[in-house]
Structures are given as structure tokens and as C-alpha cells.
Structure 1
């Protein structure tokens, strides 16, 4: 649904449209310096080399942790990433969706469970994950969210007070450079934000017309408009802050890893780690493939896995760390019997679609080419920022400022959707996508996700075989606990009531009915639940497969083993109420602190 770099509608045509495309291409050819990044060079290291620390996975957590450890000149750090450098699209905020289902994506999907998501193509949920430096932080929507104090206090109940809200907040602030004016100009809000960190957290350069309309509609429905969507004391509807700097994506890769110039950080790209080497219950190194050759690298101090919720679980199990029964079933010697791969869960998202008269979307087909030119000229315009918004609903009146459901409406201009784009972006069947595309031929489309933020259901990750090249088997467990369905009818009805607000009613807004026939025979509440089960999908925030308190101790160390830690989304025992990128940065900062403490090094955060 985003403008795609290289999309050539109008290429070769005559008239103004063809001229605009030609001009855009000329600007692109001349602007490679503008769109380049100083990514780390490929390390030249010999097979069998030793380092103090080996970090497996150069995504959000790995990039941050490598940069922090490299601050200490006495540490030799090896960072190993299965992918390479991001393409140009990874820099431009407006192209945030185009790398999904590309070679820069692991392209994971869940296993068909015969129950949930049966309305989706292949009866499975898409699970895009970045396969490049920056990882999923290079393909995400750049939303800056933290979750809420209750989320971290739940972690503390499981694993200890070092993970409660009071003790994690300084690690959010450490990396944060807040410039979003609606927050930065508020002295009270700024008590919870940082200004000296590496990653810029900014506000939109301009406000999209659609965002303004959505906010007014939610206010009409009784939600308070809030300036800071990370405010732990007040929820409602508002604009998100985003990790964007000067019209470019900002992340632990661009703001931290790319800035390391100490000479003690060695980065191996396009290097696929297949096993953690363990001797006498101690991690001593890794086995990896590079240029179709097998390599061994050794860690004098520690191996830290930051490969993400799915690949971390897979690598640990390939290394003999996981559930004894499963490892024996696939023929792997058990090194440590731990619940690796268990506790998988995610925010559960169900998309509804509204059709409305033209006038709500900020941009259309005729303006997007101009926006490409504007961005390539001076990194401004619609492609340089994001103005996404959300609306939070509490679970009940007893917790009015604790979100339980979220809604994230967007706007698709007339004629922009195709069946292929629809099936790729959201995973719907061609039949259902054709219904949406038919409406889009003459109407704007409002995708309206309704998202459960605190699911009780749990799935799992398992090995498909002992072949490290096989994708992990991902069992979503969506609605494994029926209690997760209970709140959906009320949340869905609230979301769809947008059509009855003043502006959207005037625009003739209507619901596109995709409800399966078998659901229509039921009562209203059961019909909504039936629809939700059929169309449930991931919000791409999966966590929990190497959880604190189960697989890990309070300092992110794998239980029963020495010199092995994990520092990515897999460590979350329970998912936070919000996007998971910023919490993963916090986790990496905590890991750096634990490691520096272990080796007697001071740190500025007490």
C-alpha cells in the first residue's frame, strides 16, 4: 500500500506523467550520495579467529548491543548477520512496506492449524522479518512505542525487580533523542523522555489530512486526544512519534552501528550461523557458513544471540538447547532441557475495510510521482515522514488508562490497490482482495485494523528438521485460549462506528462486507467472533520463545549454561501493549549493562 521505488506506471508514456517519471529517475541517478549510508565493511577475519564477544544477528538488538560493547576498546566484538546491507528502500520512510516479501525478508509464515486464519490465503499468517543489517528495524513502520508500566511490572513479577517499569525507563531514555515538538515542548511529558540518545524520535513534518479526520472522528466517539502515545498515565487517540531523522529512517543500525569507528568491531555479513558451540556447559563459539564454506569462530567471554523471536529459538534448538522431547524427536543431542520455542505469542490483528468517497486521503496517484521527485531533490515531502496514528481502548472502567485493544486506520487513494498488492500486503485470498479492489476502483479504502494487545493464547516454534536451512515451524496458537475472543465484539463495533461520525457519514462511508457465509448465520456477537477467527493475523510483534524466567535468568543468561545470553524480542515473557522495536532497544541496552557489570566496567546508569 506504499509507493514502491521503481514502480514504473507511466514509464515510456508521453505527456506530463511520463516526463515526471523521467525526471524522477534522473534525480534518483544523481542522488545516490543522498540515499547512501556508511554501513560497516565486511570484516576480514580468518577461520578459527577468537573474539571477546560474538553477537549472532545484526538486527535491532544486535546492532545496539554491538555498538555498546564496541565502546570499550578492550573488547573485540564480532557481529554476524545472515543478510547484507539494506537497499535504498530501507532508508526512505515512505517506502516502509516495500521490502516485505523480498529477498530482504525471511518470509516466514505460520503453520495452518485448521482453525484460525482460515480466511487468509494458504490458511496461514505472514510473519515478515528483516534479513539484513538492521533486521526488522529496517522494514518496520518506525513507530516509537514502549508499552506500559504494568507490562514491565508483570515481567518483574516473573523474574525480578530489575525489569520493573522504574528500572527499564532509564534504558529507554538512554538511546532516545526526542524532537517531536508536541512532546518536547511539554515539560511534564519530557520527564519520561531522553534528549541525548542516538536515535531520533520525531514528529511528522506535516499532518496528513486523513489523520486529522480520523482523530476528529475518534474524539467524537468519546476518546481523549493525547499528545504522547507513550504516556504511561493517559490513553486515547493520537499521532505516534517515529524514529525518523532528516527525512530518513533512524534505527540502531543507522544511529549506532554505522557510527562505530573504534576498530574493535568486526561485522560479517551474508554469514549464516548454524550452531552455537558448547563445551562443558559453556558457550565457546559458533559454526557458520560464509561463501558456501564452513567457518568456526570462538568467544573468549560470551556468545549473545540476537537473531529474533523465530531464528533465536531455531538456533538454540539446533544447538541442543530446548525441550528434551522435541530435540530427541528430531535427533539432536540434548545439551540443556529448557522451554525454548514455547510461549510464542503476538498481538492479534483483524482487518476491516471501509469504502468512502474521495477526499479523505492526503495523496493520490497523480501526486505520488511529484512526491518522489521532491524526496529525491531534498529529502522532504510525503516520503520523508510518517503521520500514522492510533486509538487505544481500555479493557474495562477499572483500568481506564491501560490499553487492551488498538485501532490503526489508514487511507488508500482511489485506484491504488491491485489484487496482487492486496494479497502480498495483507495475505487475503484473491477472492476477497478482488472485492476490496472493486470498491477501490471508485472509492477510497480505509483499512481499519482492530488489534488485541494482551493475548492469553500461546503458540510455539519447532524445528522442521536438523537442516539449518529449513525454516522454523511456527504454530501461532491464535485463539488457543478462547478468552482472547471475548473483547473483540465490543472493540469491532466501536471501530466500525467510525462510519456514523459526522465527517465519515457525510462522505457516505460504508463497511465492505467480507464476512464469510457460515458466520452470517450466527447471532451478532458470535458472527463477529466467527469473522475474527477467520481473518485473524499477526501484527508482526511476536515474542516470548526464549523468555525471561523460563529460558533465561534475570540477566538474560541461558539457564544452566555459562557465557550464553539472548537479547531480542524472544526474551519478553509477555508482550508489551505496543510496538516492540523500542522495547528491544531497551533490552539490548540492559544486556550491555549486564555484560559490562560482569567484567567490572562502570556504566553511567546506576
Structure 2
């Protein structure tokens, strides 16, 4: 078909635009690992279950050895939009997401639909590292030293820092120009950690507000010695998402000893005499068995790792008996589930802080496709850490993450689909957004004491696991929420936001009406609490695995992902999971050389 674009300058512009958009399809393509051809019954040295953040990194490292490695992923290739930072939320709630939700506990999260929290997890190569916010955070030394106090010096801050630096390629000039910051970063790793020198008007106004509230403004949000408010670094390379998939697995897949099978759902770890020797896999609606001569390594994520171990007979014996699964090893798999607790609060303000018109939006799309610049190269940028501990002022307890929603943002659909609020709450926020910009302030408990559980609803591997969040099951997690929310709301009283007439948006929760301020904030926190999507702990060190991540009482089986964290770190979990994979690779290499 011939396309007539017209003549003159306008016609030429349209023709150029069409050529340019066609070329952009190539620009956005990634060379994902090809589908391997593996006969049923094949043997490998290592089988890695799950090609998410941990599995992609670990499989790539194991492929550096003279051993055959099979990597199994339940999903397929990520879609094109996965590599565009500004489209990070577009895949949540899609077929590229496991779309997990929690069971209603009839206590917390009752302002959410069905009292259930959304738990997005990537079902594709890269796993949740293909849908996350790309924030590079590590937690703090106290987090790892707490692990080391029970699990040994391998997990101390002094040791894990080496493994963070091993994978990191820091290019953030806000950090690289300062020697006191450089010593905590790596320059030779595969995953780029970058940041932009230029800042947006919105970010500067938020930082001004935090400064006025008494926060230190910090250059490096991973600085282990200082907390305050600042701009995060991100795992972004040349305007595109960077991850253990793009930086490690894509390259390693060119090796002839690494075999990647996609759309392959592992349904059971095969064991004989308490020795793991392979896996059962559902592929093309057929059952396959693959065998491992060295180790089976489960890297399926906090929810699916627990599910697979339970399906394989490793877990609490009473829970397994209920669903008719023979007990191989009685271990507390699925217990110790916990997550950062997130409470979203909102300020409404007159227009001017985050204003973006349609013309600018379209221009930013064109700029991105043309030279990987503009707002689509950005993701969540700003955070502020709060400590309520007088003896550990540089160890945060809460974080505030701020974003800005322009007028008429069309928030209603994402409010219901992504956040899961009840329709009347989404309507309240959306109606306010017709008149005001909305400043979203996520108030996050970074070190919760509450614990939940993951268990099976049946022995059918196609059934989703039951996720009990346990949010606020320990009442101590609520104690500091009113104070943390008050800090967030105080931004409305700072000079700039006061000039914009900012005020706290009351969500009108019926159960919180008539309460005094502190009690009302506590009530709102409990009712609106949701996951910050950093769930950990279901196969924790000391409980399910030992300090080298080997499943207790089962030889040849190891777990490598966020599920092994005995306690969540104070920050986003992606970079720590890469660190765990790097350390696990060294555990395995050490075992091979000493055998």
C-alpha cells in the first residue's frame, strides 16, 4: 500500500516522523536470550528455577564456569515497553505480572477492594526487575550486621559491600565527583547506576520543603553514614532500563553452556533420599523432567519460591498434610513473610508544581524515541528517610516518597487497577484532581515487626498461593505512623507549598470519622495500608536455609532470592537481591573448588 503524506514542509515532516517511528521499533528492541531446545530427560550441572533478578544474575555467573546450566522461566520475553523507564507501571496488572493478591484479614487494608493488597511480580525474563522503579538502594549497614549476628560474617556490611560493588558500574556524577562517596561504589560492574545532574522544578520544590522541615539534603541516598532527603540513583543505561537481565543474562546467553527455557513452569523439585536431583516442568502443556548433577537452585521469588518448595514436600508438615502432599522435610517455609508497609497520603495544591501540558507530553515521547532523552528516561526520583531512634539517628525507620500528579491526570483507572483502592476513594482523589494538582506522599515503614505467611490452597501447581500479609499484626508497627504521616503532611505548611494553598486531602474514610488527629492518622494508616512490593523472608536464613543458602536437610538444593532475607533491609530490594546472587555464586564456586 502506498502512503501519500502530502507535499511541502508539512508533508515532509510527516514523512520524516513516520520513518523515525519505524526506526524506533529497532531502537527499542533488546536481544533477549533465545529459546533453548532441550530434550526431555536432559542432564545439566545446575538448574536455576526463575530468571528474575536473582536467577538471571546467578545463571550468568554460573555460565562463566565450565558447567552446563539450565535456566527455567515461567514467563516469556519482556515487552518493548519494559525497557522504557517512564512506562514502568504499564505492565503491572498485565499478563506480564503474576497478579498476586493477599487474603483479606478483615483488619488491615479495608479501604482496598476486598481488603486485599496488590502484589505485582514480574512473570517474564528479568522478573520483578523488569517492572520495578529501577531505584538503586542497598539498605544500611545495620541491616546486614543484624543478619551477620546470627548467620555469620559473610553477611556483614563489610563483606556484602564488596558484592554490591562487584556488579555496580557507577556513573552518577552527583556521586563520582566526591571521594568520600566513591569509596562505597563500584566502577567495573555490569549494571549501570546513574543519575541526572539536572533536576526538575518539581523535585527542587519538594527538596526545598524537606529542607525547611529540617532534613539534611544528601547527594547519595546509599550513603551508609548519613540519612536525609535526596534524589535516588537508578539502574538505567542510555535512557533504558538496566538490570541483571539486560546487563548479565543477555550477554551470558551467547555462551554454549547456558540454556534458557521460557514459558516453562516448574511444578516440583524432584528428590530422592533427601537429595534434589532435578525438576518437573510444564512446557507446551506437556510434562518434562530435567536433571541436575550438582544443584537445583530455586530463584522464583518470595511467593513462588515458597509455593514450589511446598509443592515439593518441603514445609510445615501440618500445612502439607492439609493439601495431601507427602512431607519430605518439615521446615517453616512460607512463614516469616514480611514487607515494607506503605500508606499513601495526598496533598492537594494549586496548579504550577507538576504542570505538564499535552504538547510537552507528546514532545517527550518524540524526544525519547529520537535520542533517548526527555521525561520518559526518568522514574521515581525523590525520597526522605526518618529516624525515630535517638541512639541510631543515621538508621531510618520510615521513608517518604513523593510524586506529583498534574491536573486531570486520569488517575481513577490506575487508582483502582494498580493501587486497588475502593472506587469511592479513587473518585474522591480524581475529583480533587480536576481542580488541583495532587502531591502523593507514600509513608513507608522500613522495618516492620509484623509477619504473615504464604501457603498452598491445593496441591495443584496451577493454583495461586495464599498470601497472608500479616500487616499490622504486631501493633508496634502502627506506633510511629501518626508522627511519620504528620511529617509528610507538614510539607503543606512549608513556604512554597503554602503559597500554592496546599492542604491534606481527606479520603473520607467512614471508620475514621470523628477521631482525634493522632487516632485518625493511625486509623487511616491501618485502613489504607498496602504493600510496597518488597516482600521477603519465606525461606529465611536460619529457618529454612543455612548461611550459604542451602535448604536444611536436603542436599543439592539451594534458594537464592529475596525469600532468604531473615529481615527486610531498609530500602528497595532489587540491588540487595543481585548482591545475594553474587554471594551465592561465590558459595557455589568455593564448594566446587574444595570438592
Aligned counterpart in structure 2 of residue 508 of structure 1, from 501, 504, 509: 501
Q: What CA deviation, in whole Å up to 9, does each residue of 1:231-255 have, x standing for no partner?
A: 1100000000000000000000000
Q: Which residue of 2 aligns with 1:476?
A: 469
2: CA distance, partners of 1:363 / 1:251:
29
- Choose the corresponding residue for 1:107, options 91, 99, 105: 99
1:419-454 Cα distance to aligned partner (Å, 9 max, x none):
212211211111110111111112111111100000
The answer to whether the Cα contact below 8 Å between 1:93 and 1:386 also exists between their aligned partners in 2 is yes
Q: In 1, distance between residues paired with 2:308 and 2:382?
A: 36
The residue aligned with 2:4 is none
Closer, same or farther: CA 481–23 of 1 in aligned 2, 3 Å: farther
Question: Aligned-pair distance for 1:473?
Answer: 0.2
Deviation readout 1:389-425 (Å, 9 max, x if unpaired): 1000002222110100100010111111242122112
1:464 pairs with one of 434, 457, 463: 457
Runs of 4+ in structure 1 off by over 6 angstroms are 19-25
Note the alpha carbon deviations across 1:30-68, whole angstroms, 9 max, x for none: 212210111110001100000000000000000000000
Does the 8 Å contact 1:284/1:298 carry over to 2? yes
Q: In 1, are the aligned partners of 2:104 and 2:115 still within 8 Å (CA)?
A: yes
Paired with 1:21 and 1:366, the residues of 2 have a C-alpha distance of 17
Q: SS at the partner of 2:287? A: strand
Q: Is 2:395 the counterpart of 1:402?
A: yes
1-side partners of 2:17 and 2:558: how far apart?
A: 47
Deviations 1:183-203, CA, capped at 9 Å, x for gaps: 111111111100000000000
Does residue 584 (structure 1) correspond to residue 577 (structure 2)? The answer is yes
- Does 2:586 align with 1:593? yes
Q: Is the 8 A contact 2:118 2:418 kept in 1?
A: no
Find the aligned partners of 1:387 and 1:543 in 2 and give their Cα distance.
22
Which residue does the alignment assign to 1:369? 362
Aligned pair partner of 1:119 in 111, 123, 127: 111
Q: Secondary structure at the match of 2:158?
A: helix
What is the match of residue 560 of structure 1? 553
**Could you say which residue in structure 2 is the equivalent of 1:186?**
178
Out of 136, 142, 146, the position equivalent to 1:144 is: 136
CA distance in 2, matches of 1:21, 1:510: 45
Cα drift, residue 27 of structure 1:
3.6
**1:25 to 1:253, Cα distance in 2 relative to 1, 3 A:** farther
Number of the residue aligned with 1:426:
419
Partner Cα separation in structure 2 for residue 75 and residue 372 of structure 1 = 44
Question: What is the rounded CA distance, in whole Å, between the counterparts of 1:151 and 1:23 in structure 2?
Answer: 53
Residue in 1 that maps onto 2:156? 164
* Aligned equivalent of 2:245: 253
Q: How does 1:270-309 map to 2 (within 5 A)?
A: 270-309=263-302
* Closer, same or farther: CA 32–466 of 1 in aligned 2, 3 Å: same
Aligned partners of 1:583, 1:195: CA distance in 2, in Å? 17
Deviation at 1:503, TM superposition (A): 0.2
Q: Give 1:43's match in structure 2, choosing from 15, 26, 36.
A: 36
The answer as to 2:84 corresponding to 1:95 is no
> 1:515: how far off?
4.0
- Please give the alpha-carbon distance, in whole angstroms, between the structure 2 residues aligned to 1:310 and 1:169: 27
Q: Report which stretch shifted further, 408-417 or 566-575.
A: 408-417
Partner of 2:76: 84
Cα pair 2:380 2:403 within 8 Å, conserved: no
Q: Is it true that 1:215 corresponds to 2:207 in the alignment?
A: yes
Structure 1 CA distance for aligned equivalents of residues 289 and 206 of structure 2? 54
Query: Helix, strand or coil for the counterpart of 1:350?
Result: strand
Q: Distance in 1 between matches of 2:380 and 2:59?
A: 31
Task: Note the residue ranges of structure 1 that are not aligned, 5 or more in a row.
Answer: 1-18
Q: CA RMSD in A?
A: 1.6
| Separation of aligned partners in 2, 1:191 and 1:359 | 40
CA distance in 2, matches of 1:137, 1:365: 30
Please state whether the residue corresponding to 1:408 is helix, strand or coil: strand
Q: Deviations over 1:243-269 (max 9, x none)?
A: 000000000000000011221100000
> Structure 2 CA distance, aligned partners of 1:310 and 1:214?
35
CA contact (8 A) 1:61 1:588 kept: yes
> Is the Cα contact below 8 Å between 1:285 and 1:299 reproduced in 2?
yes
CA distance in 1, matches of 2:180, 2:440: 34
Matched, 1:493 2:489: no
Asked if 1:60 is matched to 2:59, the reply is no
Determine helix, strand or coil for the equivalent of 1:391.
Answer: strand
CA contact (8 A) 1:110 1:476 kept: yes
Q: State the Cα deviation string for residues 197-218 of structure 1 (Å, max 9, x = none).
A: 0000000263121111101100
Q: 2:522 aligns to what? A: 529
Q: Deviations over 1:302-349 (max 9, x none)?
A: 000000000000000000000011001110000000000000000000
For 1:169 and 1:537, how far apart are their aligned partners in 2?
A: 30
Which position in structure 2 is the counterpart of 1:266? 259
- Contact preservation (8 Å) 1:202, 1:242: yes
More displaced stretch, 462-471 vs 159-168: 159-168
SS in 1 for 2:593: coil
Which residue of the other structure, out of 504, 512, 521, is the alignment partner of 1:519?
512
The alignment covers a number of residue pairs equal to 583
Q: 1:348 to 1:274 in 2, by over 3 A?
A: same
In structure 1, the residue matched to 2:120 is 128
The alpha-carbon distance between structure 1 residues 476 and 506, as it changes in their structure 2 partners (threshold 3 A), is same
Q: For residues 24 and 434 of structure 1, what CA distance do their matches in structure 2 show?
A: 38
Counterpart for residue 376 of structure 2: 383
Judge which range, 507-516 or 319-328, deviates more: 507-516
Q: Alignment partner of 1:295: what SS?
A: strand
What's the CA shift string for 1:52-92, capped at 9, x where partnerless? 000000000000000000011x1100000000000011111
1:447 counterpart residue number? 440
CA–CA separation in structure 2 for the residues paired with 1:361 and 1:312: 41
Residue 601 of structure 1: CA displacement?
Answer: 7.7
| 2:405 aligned counterpart, secondary structure | coil
Specify the SS of the correspondent of 2:159: helix
Runs of 5+ consecutive residues of structure 2 not aligned to the other structure = 1-11
